[in-house]
Amino acid sequence: MIETDPPQRRGSSTAKDKAEGATAFAVAARVTWSSQAGGIVKHKTGEIIAVIPAGKSPKKVDKERFKKFASERQHESYIVDVDGELYWPVVSQLRDAKGK
């Protein structure tokens, strides 16, 4: 018998997210995360402007604003505005940035 987790309500974390330390965030929350490319680590802090439901691409949520994000993720995710630039960070990397 295969067991599955019960359906999750909007804004709740999945067991996998909880295991990875991920937290559910809402629009207008300030978050911070680090990313790495070409051996350079960058720290980013911004404001969540959209919550993307599991199984949807940001492009399907708002075709004009999020046209550069075409793929889907199988968990709730977030679009973050950092000084006018939009990012779709890895959820498990996001941390609350209150006061930053």
Placement of tokens 């498990």 in the chain: 92
Give the model's pLDDT for residue 52: 96
Each residue of 9-65: pLDDT tens digit? Answer: 334 444 444 434 456 899 999 999 999 999 999 999 999 999 999 999 999 999 999
**Per-residue model confidence (pLDDT) at position 8:** 40
> What local confidence, expressed as pLDDT, does residue 59 receive?
93
87 φ, ψ (degrees, to nearest 5): -130, 155
Smallest CA-to-CA distance from 45 within 58, 30, 60 is with 30
Residue with tokens 């974390």: 13
